[in-house]
Chains A and B, each alone.
Chain A
Amino acid sequence: MKIEETRNEHAYIVKITGKVDTASYRYFENTMLDVLETEKNVLLDCTDMTYISSAGIRVFLMVLKTLQSKNGQLKLCGIRNDTKEIFEISGVSKLFEIYTTQLEAYTNFD
């Protein structure tokens, strides 16, 4: 798993590449905890995320809850169909704002 972080005028963008599984979710979690220290608007780009385990889903939920508690926003984009299924099985897909592209996601940040 690889994580790239960028920022533009709309949001702080975290791009995930590869698998978020039991082996890598801690790194993802720690990275996100650092991001949450300072950021309020976060876009998680999942275009190249090939898999996510339940532990990974929990990190997504943690990010969502943390941002909501400080009136921030979390948006996802580019979730592939196979990973989308995992979100759905976990019952969390309707909790997230999911967009197809980064551009589409930006325009919806307040």
Chain B
Amino acid sequence: MSWRTSISFRLNLYILTGVAVIYFFVTYYNYRASRKIVLQKTTENVEQKITIAVDNIEKVIIPLKNIAGSFSQLLSTLKYSEEGIIAVQKSILRLNKNIYGCSVSFEPYKYNKDSLYFFLYAYHSGNEFAFRYFDGTEYPYFDFEWYKIPKETHQPVWAEICEDENQENYLITYSVPFFETADDSSEFTGVITVDIDNNWLNEMINKIRVLESGFGILFSSEGELLTRPAEGTVSDNLIDLLKNHNDSSHLENMAVKMLNGTNMFLPKKEFDGINAAYIAPLKSAPWYIGMVIPVNEAVTDIKELFFLNLGIGILGFALLGFLIALLTRRLTRPLTELTDASRLIYKGNYSTELPETNRNDEVAQLTKSFVAMQERMNRYIKNFRLTLEEKRNLEHELKIASHIQANMIPNQFPPFPEYRQFELYSKMFPAKGVAGDFYDYFFVNADTLFFTIGDVSGKGVPAALFMVKAITLLKREALADVSLNEILFNVNNLLTKNNDTSMFVTAICGYLNIRTGKVRLADAGHTYPLLSNTHNSFEYITLNKNVPLGVKENTQYAENEITLKKRSTLIFYTDGIIEASNLKGEMYSAERFKNLLSDQNDHKLTELARIIRISIEDFMYEVNQTDDITVLMLRYFGSNHEN
């Protein structure tokens, strides 16, 4: 058994895989859901902050715009002297700390017919105000955008950011055109500017914090960054990205949306790929406040929690696996022991001790059954061994019995080598074990040979014992040198008496007078013998039929007498020959037997016996011999063959 097929391994595999899949799915889903909620909350928070920031900026910008607007109205309607303008500028600066400077510039020769340029600029310088005049040579303002655009559009405009006089501050300029109105016409006369120091914008925007690394920015619709993000808060590439927003197409989309005055959320894939952004437009200026939301930072805790969960999960699974392994080991240990024990039993160690169990589960039941089975098996094996031994003994005894039985019939050939008057040959082929056929021959006086052949009904040991009884009785009676009828009469009565088994014997007994060739024969239900004729062939001779021995008491046995000519042969046989069967169920038959021996009388008796045996074997082919086959042959040569 490989470890991969063990119950412990499979149980671990299935349970752990199942639980792990569910656990990781739940954990991951939880992570995604939490992340979504956190990002949503963060965005809501940013939205609030941005609204406040927008309000704060508007609160400053709107009055400034109003001031600039009012000033331009004043200039349009009132002809101010230089001192008047300066006074207004002064008061504007004084009243608005957020205004860094304020300028008034005129079209050529509009203020002074002799002067092409007139530009008056007032600005904060420490706690005081400073004033500057410019003429065209040092400051050709007609071509600057803050002047050109309002002139062309007749609309106020927010100019791009620029540095101040001393290059200390960044300024954002709001330009408003003013006109000279006469009756129903108005003529562009000049531009008023209000410069906003962007320090306070910076401060305000930089105060905005989204988590640790998120920050706010202010940028114009042109994409120009109007505030400087605090050092270290923004990575360079983000600044680059914002700077390059000019040509980015999604900024255009963004601008379109924002011109509609709607806030916009940019998920990270639409922003810089790392951070998300929330952008809101201002109403009073073409500016936007953007807030960079550091997504990674927002979800850091969630992520940590996720990995912590994973870690705990893995530890938990390891523990679970260990416990399952432990449990299955505990549960299957008896099974493993049982398996080992059964393997030993299988290998032939039948008395292997099976593991004891004090539990009462399925394994214990199995073990109990196994123990019972083993006990039973051992008992069977013991019985089997005993039986086998008994069988061996019995077989041995049977062999001895068979041997004894075989020795009861003559087995010496030629049996009467000293006699030239006749030849006798007999052969028995037992079907198996102890036989039921028999034959015998002996001289009862100097001239007379007694011979007999017989066949006991039935098979096996009973038949053999009956045969022993029959042959013994026949010998005893025959040696008394009485008539065949007397012999058979007596033997029949002895065999019939107390014959509960209903066994009987068919037999032929005969006397041969070796001087005269006269043969007396008495039949007891046996097969007809064959006698050779003058043509060297054989014919069946019909004897007076009598009842077999052992059937009916006080039976008389009619005798027959024939005289043998020279070289006459008598063949006696048992029905094992003519009833031998082949595969088709055909029988060898008396007819076939007679035909086989046709023209065969010149063979020696041993040769004849061989021919008969081979013919029968060929006929039966693969069929086992079921009955004993016995043949007894007697050939007479005549009295002048005497020694």
Q: Which of A21, A58, A94, A95 has most chain B Cβ within 10 Å? A: A58
Contact A91 B585, beta carbon cutoff 8 Å: no
Question: What sequence of 0s and 1s flags, for each residue 555-573 of chain B, a beta carbon within 8 Å of any chain A beta carbon?
Answer: 0000000000000000000
The interface residues of chain B lying within 8 Å CB-to-CB of A94 are 547
Give chain A nearest CB distance to B337 CB in angstroms: 52
B575 touches A53 (CB 8 A): yes
* Interface 1/0 per residue, A89-110 and B, CB below 8 Å: 1111111000000000000000
CB-CB < 8 A to A69: which residues of B?
500, 502
The listed residue (A53, A58, A64) touching B457 by CB distance below 8 A is A58
State how many angstroms separate the Cβ of B622 from the closest Cβ of chain A: 15
Q: What's the tally of chain A residues with a CB closer than 8 Å to chain B?
A: 21
- Interchain nearest-CB distance for B626 vs A (Å): 6
Q: Say yes or no: A53 contacts B527, CB within 8 Å.
A: no
Q: Are A92 and B587 in contact (CB under 8 A)?
A: no
- Chain B hits for A17, CB < 8 A: none
B507 vs chain A, min Cβ distance (A): 10
- B579 contacts A92, C-beta separation under 8 Å: no
Take A65-B551, A69-B500 as given contacts and tell me if A90 and B579 are in contact as well, using a CB distance cutoff of 8 Å: no
Main secondary structure of the interface of B (DSSP, over half): loop
Q: Tell me, yes or no, whether A55 is within 8 Å of chain B by CB.
A: yes
Q: Does A62 contact B (CB under 8 A)?
A: yes
Of B524, B528, B551, B585, the residue contacting A61 (CB under 8 A) is: B551
Interface residue A54 (Cβ < 8 Å from any Cβ of B): yes
Check A22/B579 contact, CB under 8 A, given A89-B545, A91-B545, A91-B547: yes
Question: Interface size bucket, B side?
Answer: 20 to 34
A91 & B506 in contact (Cβ 8 Å cutoff): yes
| Residues of chain A lying within 8 A (CB to CB) of residue B585 | 21, 23
A21 to B546, CA, bound (A): 22
Known: A21-B581, A54-B579. A92 touches B627 (CB 8 A): no
CB of A88 within 8 A of chain B? yes
Contact B504 A61 (CB under 8 A): yes
Q: Of B525, B552, B587, B626, which contacts A90 at CB under 8 A?
A: B525
B177 close to A (CB within 8 Å): no
A66 on interface, CB distance cutoff 8 Å: yes
Assess the A58–B545 pair: CB atoms within 8 A: no
Nearest CB on B from A76, distance (A): 15
Min CB–CB distance B521 → chain A (angstroms) = 13
Q: How far is the CA of A91 from the CA of B455 in the complex (A)?
A: 14
Tell me the complex Cα distance, A55–B506, Å. 12
Bound CA span A94–B551, Å: 12
A58 lies within 8 A of B581 (CB): no
A58 to B550, CA, bound (A): 12
B627 CB contacts on chain A under 8 angstroms: 22, 55
> A54–B456 Cα gap in the complex (Å)?
11
* A22, A62, A69, A91 — most chain B CB neighbours (10 Å): A91
Q: How far is the CB of B396 from chain A (nearest CB, A)?
A: 28
The reply to whether A90 and B548 form a contact with Cβ atoms under 8 Å apart is: yes
B579 touches A91 (CB 8 A): no
* Proximity string of chain A (53-97) to chain B, C-beta cutoff 8 Å, 1 when within and 0 when not: 111001001101110010000000000000000001111111100
- Output the least CB separation between A75 and chain B (Å): 16
Given contacts A58-B457, A91-B548, A92-B548, contact A22 B528 (CB under 8 A): no
A-B residue pairs, 8 tightest by C-beta = A91-B525, A91-B545, A65-B502, A58-B457, A54-B575, A62-B502, A90-B525, A91-B546
A-B contact pairs, 18 of them (CB 8 A): A23-B585, A53-B575, A53-B579, A54-B506, A54-B579, A58-B458, A61-B457, A62-B457, A65-B499, A65-B551, A66-B502, A89-B528, A89-B545, A90-B506, A90-B545, A91-B524, A91-B526, A92-B551
Q: Please report B residues at the A interface, Cβ cutoff 8 Å.
A: 455, 457-458, 499-500, 502, 504, 506, 523-528, 545-548, 551-552, 575, 579, 581, 585, 587, 626-627
Known: A61-B548, A91-B546. 12 other contacts (CB 8 A): A21-B587, A54-B455, A54-B575, A55-B579, A62-B502, A64-B551, A90-B548, A91-B524, A91-B545, A91-B548, A92-B548, A94-B547
